Amino acid sequence: MLNFNKAMISGRITRDPELKTTTSGLSVTSFSVAVNRRARSGEQSVADFINVVAWRNTAEFVCKYFKKGSGIFVVGQLQSRSWTDSNNQNRVNWEIIADEVYFAESKRDSAESNGSEFMNTPAERKEAAAPAVDFQELIDDDDKLPF
């Protein structure tokens, strides 16, 4: 029997990730990703909040380039942790241990959804969105077409 554990999610980070270091010097961060469930036509979308843990270089990458609201695509392994709480109740937590992390939106999309940190003034945003006007009108000359 083949064992296979691969989880892939894409959504938005719910809070700014914080880089922490273990006593042995390993970088680690944990964050949650809001992932919308597919909804039928006319129904309101519902989000699941999925916990993710990233270690070493992946943790440093996430903390450097992602913040609350950033689109993220995570590939990793689903893992459970069990413990007994202060009321002597058994608890279980499921999380994805990130192996790979990718940007889920372009810098431009991120800038537009996060207050436009890449194009600061309304004029810069308008100029970037304006279509190119460098074109030449062609004259309709049906008689000269070879077909």
In tens, the pLDDT along 25-83 reads 999 999 999 999 988 888 888 999 999 999 999 999 999 999 999 999 999 999 999 99
Q: What is the pTM of this model?
A: 0.69
**Regarding beta strands 90-103 and 47-55, do their DSSP bridges make them parallel or antiparallel, or are they unpaired?**
parallel
Contact between 96 and 50 under an 8 Å Cβ cutoff? The reply is yes
Cα 85 from Cα 65, distance rounded (Å): 34
Report the CATH number at residue 66. Answer: 2.40.50.140
- Domain limits at 56? 7-106
Contact between 67 and 47 under an 8 Å Cβ cutoff? The reply is no
Cα 54 from Cα 48, distance rounded (Å): 19
Q: What is the per-residue pLDDT across 70-128, written as a single tens digit (0 to 9) for each?
A: 999 999 999 999 999 999 999 999 999 999 999 998 766 665 655 434 334 444 444 44
Per the structure, the count of domains in the chain is: 1
Structure tokens at 126: 């308008």
Structure tokens at 142: 């049906």
In a domain? residue 60: yes
